[in-house]
Amino acid sequence: MFIRKTLPYAVLSACAFAQPGMAAETTDTGHEERISILAPIVVTATRQAQDSFDLPVAIDVVEKENIQDGQARMTLSESLIRVPGITAQNRTQMAQDPQISTRGFGARSSFGVRGVRVYVDGIPLTMPDGQGQPGIMDLGVVNNIEVMRGPFSALYGNSSGGVIQMLTEDAPKTPEVSAGVMFGSYDTKQENVRAAGNADGMEYLINYSQYSSDGYRDHSANNKKQGTAKFKFNLNEDTKLTTLVNWFDQDAQDPLGLTRDQAFSNRKSVVDAANNANTKVSRSHTQVGFKLEHQLNADNALVLTSYVGSRENQQYLPRNPLGTLGRISEISREFWGTDARWDNQGHLLGKPYALSVGTTYGKMNDDRVDTNTANGVSTGILNRTEKNIASNFDQYIQARWSVLESLDLHAGVRRTKVSLEVDDQLLTNGDSSGNVSYRKTTPVIGAIWKVTPTLNLYANYGKGFETPTFVEVAYASTVISSTPNLNLKPSESRNFEVGAKAFLGDNTRANLSLFKIMTDDEIVLANTVNGISVYTNANKTSRNGAELSVESKLPHNFTLYGAYTLLNAKFDSDYTTVANGLIASGNVIPGTYHTQIYAEAAWKHIESGFRTAFEARHNSKAYVNDTNTDSAPSYTIFNVRAGFEQQLKSWRFSEFVRVENIFDKDYIGSVRVNDGNSRFFEPAAGRNWLLGLNANYRF
């Protein structure tokens, strides 16, 4: 039997970075395969590379083949649906980022990703106020995605119910160029070109892609251009500098939500408000990040990360139920930040430890203008002209100490300060300027007991802190001239988690997590009317649940994978809103799913370069409002993907086909929580397909 713990760490790391998660080998007899499955190496949990099996943390890795092969590579929801504890809904339109939540955190989000912090190579895609825009990242250059849930997420700052970190590919040692095209349903097209390699000690990867689609629903056409450039300079044997440049430009129509009757009678339709107000979004984003890593000696290292960027966002929204009156919301943003960290390792009382100490600062300045429209044309009448300024200044410390051969202790603490300021420059309705600051210290502690070489048990506890974003403080009521809601309080949570990680024989790995979360002053969506969202604080909420994943690599290159999530997210006390009245204790938090299941059976035929996989996905019903008077029904869908790869001297060709919802199931892909016009439902696409071709030349 394969005994996992006898592998030297260096060999384990090499295997993990070459193919995170699995390794296979054939015995000398040649008659029987002996298959070993390994836990991936991760960096998000402790900020230093470590075997995920030995961490008291619920963390999963989505590998490159599940991000890029047989996927459109347009939204994170494509890849994250396989991770337990994560809800990743494809909204079948690209005017907003996908709905991503973890253990119910972020389920209320109307715009962007909320309650989950998002990073790429350690550079935040989440702004200081807690709202993230992962859509800037080209998934075609992402090597793997680490997804962490639970208490230790709080060590990344405010609004961290979980952490999603995308890690980009490194350049190959041999220069190469490639180009690809993709076609699909609804006149979907994508083209991409890439160049990567090494030149005079500099590693480089440059990628450009262009995507367009008419969209499944009417009034949901979109196009998106993206560029990524990554450069790594080995300044000397102890110092390296990595530069990452991300750029995108996008135009997308917004079909809005549908009422229940509309959603189940004409799924591709749009409401009059979308056509009359010409609801759409135009956005562009440029970001440059730098990461300097210097090894002082064998036990000490310094890591300095900094970033700067700008974002332009123009969104057309309705202002009355028919959309004959509307508004244009425009935001021009500049942002920057830095993180400085010292990593240390050594021995304490003869036992090994690892320590990270750091500080981080971030700031964003938004120039915000809101203008009235009539039948989709600007009237020039201003509703708002203001500056929104957000900043954060945090300090953190995190440590691991192996107190016994079979017991590791992990602990950390983060001190967070988040400041929001509104500078009103349209004073015809009075001065709505104001500012507010939030401060919190969030400690976490955990332990992992290595029961046997193939079984680890762990437990952890921590406090969480979630501050309002500018989206959430923008309006105190659904009146367009409303003052900002600077009285909105941050939510605070207590998080408990226990779990087990096990290797079942040579070919199967299983992870189990049980969690309990209790939150005070949860920020909830009180009402959304014609594009204006108002938030409030609920009294008490709770989330209890379980996450299970099982991965098995079988003989003859068959792979099985399954993920199961159970979540009971509810209000634990009564509270009252102007729009919905009394919200009773015991009601389910809308936008959350009691049960989610993902299963996949995959097979590769190495000799011919053929691969295929069959996917199944099930979501239980989801309530769409706090009163629990309506819900999106449960659904089960099936997808299939297949591909070929051929090698011809210096050329490598690959082709794939993907068919989603192969049985043409009618279902609701995502919901708009607490919509004041009862347009809660965003129908998902029926049966649809993608076909991709790629050619790569290595010099």
Over residues 603-631, the mean pLDDT reads 95
Over residues 398-439, the pLDDT tens digits come to: 999 999 999 999 999 999 999 999 999 988 878 889 999 999
Torsion sign, CA atoms 668, 673, 678, 679: negative
| Mean pLDDT to the nearest integer, 585-604 | 96
**What are the two backbone dihedrals, phi and then psi, of residue 624, each rounded to the nearest 5 degrees?**
-105, -10
CB 128 within 8 A of CB 135: no
Is residue 687 pLDDT above 90, yes or no? Answer: yes
Judge whether residue 99 has pLDDT over 60: yes
pLDDT over threshold 60, residue 27: no
C-alpha span between 79 and 483 (Å, rounded)? 39
Could you please report the per-residue DSSP string of 16-80? Answer: HHHSTTEEEEE-TTSSSEEEEE-PPEESTTTSS-EEGGGSSSEEEEEEHHHHHTTS--S-THHHH
Residue 476, SS3?
A: coil
**18 has a pLDDT exceeding 60:** no
Q: Is it the case that residue 8 has pLDDT exceeding 70?
A: no
Query: Is there a contact between 576 and 583 (Cβ–Cβ < 8 Å)?
Result: yes
* Mean pLDDT of all residues in 161-173: 93
- pLDDT at position 462: 96
Q: Is 104 left (phi over 0), alpha (psi -120 to 50) or beta?
A: left
Bridge-partner residues for 101, per DSSP?
87
Tell me if 277 sits within 8 A of 283, measured CB to CB.
no
pLDDT at 3: 40
pLDDT reading at 683 higher than 90: yes
Q: Is the pLDDT of residue 5 over 90?
A: no
Q: Does domain 4-698 have CATH number 1.10.20.60?
A: no
At 16, the pLDDT band (50, 70, 90 cuts) reads very low
pTM as predicted = 0.92
Mean predicted lDDT score pLDDT of the chain: 90
36 pLDDT band, cuts 50/70/90, is low
**Is the confidence at residue 344, as pLDDT, over 80?**
yes
Give the model confidence (pLDDT) of 448-460 as tens digits. 999 999 999 999 9
The answer to whether 83 and 148 are in contact (CB under 8 A) is no
Question: 263: which strand partners?
Answer: none
How much is the pLDDT for 192?
Answer: 96
Neighbours of 562 (CB within 10 A): 18
